[in-house]
Amino acid sequence: MICPYCNANNDKVIDSRESDAAKVVRRRRECLGCGKRFTTYERVEQTARLVVIKRDGTRVPFNRDNIMRGIMAAFGKRAVPEEIKGRMADQIEDELHREFDREVESRLIGERVMQKLKDLDEVAYIRYASEYRKFRSVEDLLGELELLQRRVKDVKDQQKLF
């Protein structure tokens, strides 16, 4: 691995650990050139590459980083651990690779992200939905908030039954 500090290509692995149910290997490395330590992650690359069909009909290779950027923007500075955000992106990626052979519409990816955000953090969900659904007015936003409020009320009512 190339050292991110001095660009030397000479390091040693000082610790390796599996994470995310043995899907990722985390390696702690030490550069033999400058002595600084850094972490790398190894994941299995999906053999069948997904292609994303964007709204305008263009096709681009699937990139997990795009999902992660959307999740990070939605959470902003909210107190949600990075591990949870990464796990959310991993779950979405895994679901997409299991369910789609070659192509997936960007709309479906956005819907998956919104659903996971809605279940985890309502504020992050609203932030993401406002960009994704391109709210044009306060009324659009209020409509979405009302739907969210009804959903929360329905869940609380169901919990009272048990």
Report pTM.
0.59
Q: Are 124 and 117 in contact (CB under 8 A)?
A: yes
Task: Please give the pLDDT value at position 153.
Answer: 56
pLDDT of the chain, 162 residues: tens digit per residue? 999 999 999 999 999 998 766 778 999 999 999 999 999 988 876 555 899 999 899 999 999 999 999 999 999 988 889 999 999 999 999 999 999 989 999 999 999 999 999 888 888 988 888 777 776 777 777 777 777 777 755 544 444 444
Q: Are 120 and 84 in contact (CB under 8 A)?
A: yes
Q: Are 41 and 35 in contact (CB under 8 A)?
A: no
Question: What is the identity of the amino acid at 119?
Answer: D
CA distance 31 to 6: 9
Task: Please give the pLDDT value at position 160.
Answer: 47
CA distance 67 to 64: 5
Task: Please give the pLDDT value at position 142.
Answer: 78
